[in-house]
Structure 1
Amino acid sequence: MVRPITTEVQNSIKLLLIEGHSYSAIQKMYPNVGLSTLSRYKRKFLGDPTSPKGEGFKARRKVKTNFVNTTNKRKRFPWAKKYQHYAVDDWRKWGFFDKTKINMWGSDEKSYYWTDGATELLPHQIESHVQEDGGSVLFLGLITAKEPGYGSTITEGDVNAGVYIDILPTSLLDTLEYCGLDRKSFRFQQDNATPHTSVPTKQWFQRQGFPLKLILDWPSQSPDLNPIEHVWNQQKRRLNAYPARATTIAELEDRIHQEWYKFTKEDCLKYIDSMPNRIKAVIRSKDGPIRY
């Protein structure tokens, strides 16, 4: 008797298919799921990839890039030129900090399907959601050339200057001490979100002896330059691969921390060492968004 595939596993496979994982990669996670089943799920969840008019066109997801306004575009290019001669070893002296939102019920991304205008929704045209996505957690973390830093979670509200200053002693100072990094030679990178550039935050960095001019030297609207974005992507894939969704915020927090501390020095270096190529890509694009 063939054992039925649980709804949780189906949902996990669905997310993997939407993200573009190959059948072989999915089968490594779910070895009992056959190719015919994966093919059927792809048609069921994503629809027929051929054009509805049968003209040989294929459906492809658009390449997502961050929006960069004209003012910030003009800042990206000179910033990239300034660091174009940095070698990998130079970038390994940096630590990259950011936050990400992790939902109880998967990502905020929209899914698309082909339609011929029929009013009745078919199974592959719908995606179930719980109200307000069942809750979410904000996770803040830092990657260094040594290993990931201490992570922090926020389950209520957002990050303001006060919250950010409360987080920094753990996420930054404790990480430097644990990893044996010298704050005089360590370059802490943050984006220019308002809590990061507020007067109280600037005063905190100055009291701790960090060069404020360097900390604020980062082009706005540039998550594509921050290698930690790839770590977020990997972390969410791991969380989505759980056979069952977390049923409470506390359980989700626990999973987030478990997966975060599984990242290794090699994982961090893989993304930090991509910085020279990111810089080259910005210069080639004449300050526009890049494929990272």
Structure 2
Amino acid sequence: MTKPISSETQNALKVLLQKKTPYSQIIKLLPNISKSTIGNYNKKFFGGAQHTNVGRVSKISAKAQRYIASSIRNGRMDGPKGAVSFLASQFIPMTTSGVKKMLRKKGFKAIRKAHRHYTVTAWRKWVLSDETRVNMWGFDSVSFYWSDKPGTMQPHQTTTKVQNNGGGVMFWGCITADGPGYGTVILEGTINSEEYVKILDSSSLLDTLDYYGKTASDIRFQQDKASPHKSDVTRDWFDQNGFSEDKILGWSAQSPDLHPIEHVWYQLKRRLDNYMTKPRTKEELANRISVEWDKITQKECL
């Protein structure tokens, strides 16, 4: 017999099962539910076919494992500890010992710190950039509310849904090992080559380097492989401003979940979602983005 649970808990459980969330994570998110109860409701919702919990499957995808290995090799991630922090930002709970086991399978060995100081120095030479869309009505996530009357919902316990999240803006930003760089909000349209060069030239990248006492020759600059970033207009700008082409590195635009700046976007959007009221205009949203971006700390960029 299936243990009865409240309708809102059932809804949350159904969403998590649809996302194929491991039972162990579901129990952490919904601590009053046992593994057997989850299995029973899985059968009730999907006939048991939606979610399989058989065998010991790696929590870390092959793509994430490759990214972690690459980041540790080039110094952008500080060994197992850095990998645990990265995985936590992707909502993948993993212990340090679990990460070490994964790294050993990848051929890594622990080496005394005296022999690897260059990796920290290398990371401090990076400036990582990306664009993200910020919606007027916040970003998608599973929502919960507190209630002492299961099965009932009051007006303040519901969330209005707006088509396309009510519109939004684009935000370009960059981070360094010393902290966040300058950012730019684009109120209308997308970022083409001309707009991208304007962002780099007028305020964001050059001012970031100046603020942290760096020059174009000091750093390695990372951007995704979107077409505006590879255009002749953009390449000419980098060349004219002293950036060496071999120090401008790309990251696949099709793998945003593995971009190092992604966890910073998450922190920014969580803070924007904490406002008691939704922004009424794009200009108001842009102002909030500016305020919250200035609060990003050096620790959150590492």
Aligned residues: 215
Report the residue type matching 2:268 in the other structure: Q
Aligned equivalents of 2:278, 2:297: Cα separation in 1: 25
Aligned equivalents of 1:223, 1:248: Cα separation in 2: 27
Which residue is equivalent to 2:286?
Answer: 253
Report the residue type matching 1:83 in the other structure: N
Which residue is equivalent to 1:102?
Answer: 134
Which residue is equivalent to 1:289?
Answer: none
Report the residue type matching 2:130 in the other structure: D
Greater Cα offset, 178-187 or 193-202: 178-187
Aligned equivalents of 1:141, 1:61: Cα separation in 2: 38
Aligned equivalents of 1:78, 1:140: Cα separation in 2: 27
- SS of the residue corresponding to residue 102 of structure 1 reads strand
Which residue is equivalent to 1:165?
Answer: 197
Q: State the Cα distance separating 1:200 from its structure 2 match.
A: 0.8
Q: State the Cα distance separating 1:223 from its structure 2 match.
A: 2.8
Which residue is equivalent to 1:131?
Answer: 163
- SS of the residue corresponding to residue 191 of structure 2 reads coil
Within the candidate set 203, 208, 212, 1:175 is matched to: 208
Which residue is equivalent to 1:290?
Answer: none
Aligned equivalents of 1:225, 1:43: Cα separation in 2: 31
Q: Deviations over 1:167-226 (max 9, x none)?
A: 002111111112211221111111111111111111111111111122135455343443
- SS of the residue corresponding to residue 143 of structure 1 reads strand
Q: Deviations over 1:206-265 (max 9, x none)?
A: 111111122135455343443211110001111111111112111111111100001122
Asked whether 1:197 is paired with 2:230, we answer: yes
Gaps of 5+ in 2: 15-29, 43-49, 53-57, 76-115, 144-151
**1:1-150 alignment, distance < 5 Å:** 43=9, 46=12, 56=39, 83=74, 87-108=119-140, 128-150=160-182
- SS of the residue corresponding to residue 264 of structure 2 reads helix
| CA contact 1:95–1:142 (8 Å) conserved in 2 | yes
Aligned equivalents of 1:103, 1:65: Cα separation in 2: 29
| CA contact 1:94–1:186 (8 Å) conserved in 2 | yes
**1:198-277 alignment, distance < 5 Å:** 198-219=231-252, 221-268=254-301, 271=302
Q: State the Cα distance separating 1:267 from its structure 2 match.
A: 2.4
| CA contact 1:66–1:224 (8 Å) conserved in 2 | no
Aligned equivalents of 1:237, 1:45: Cα separation in 2: 22
Report the residue type matching 1:261 in the other structure: D
RMSD: 4.2
- SS of the residue corresponding to residue 216 of structure 1 reads strand
Aligned equivalents of 1:186, 1:41: Cα separation in 2: 54
* Distance of aligned partners of 1:101 and 1:142 in 2 relative to their CA distance in 1, 3 Å threshold: same
Q: Percent identity?
A: 42
Gaps of 5+ in 1: 1-38, 112-121, 272-292
Q: State the Cα distance separating 1:95 from its structure 2 match.
A: 0.8
Q: State the Cα distance separating 1:145 from its structure 2 match.
A: 1.9
Report the residue type matching 2:171 in the other structure: F
Which residue is equivalent to 2:23?
Answer: none
Aligned equivalents of 1:250, 1:187: Cα separation in 2: 33
| Higher relative contact order (CA closer than 8 Å, sequence separation 6+) | 1
Q: Deviations over 1:17-59 (max 9, x none)?
A: xxxxxxxxxxxxxxxxxxxxxx9896386267769x9564577
Aligned equivalents of 1:252, 1:97: Cα separation in 2: 21
- SS of the residue corresponding to residue 184 of structure 1 reads helix
- SS of the residue corresponding to residue 224 of structure 2 reads coil
Aligned equivalents of 1:61, 1:238: Cα separation in 2: 32
| CA contact 1:66–1:223 (8 Å) conserved in 2 | no
Aligned equivalents of 1:187, 1:262: Cα separation in 2: 25
Aligned equivalents of 2:165, 2:241: Cα separation in 1: 39
Q: State the Cα distance separating 1:165 from its structure 2 match.
A: 0.4
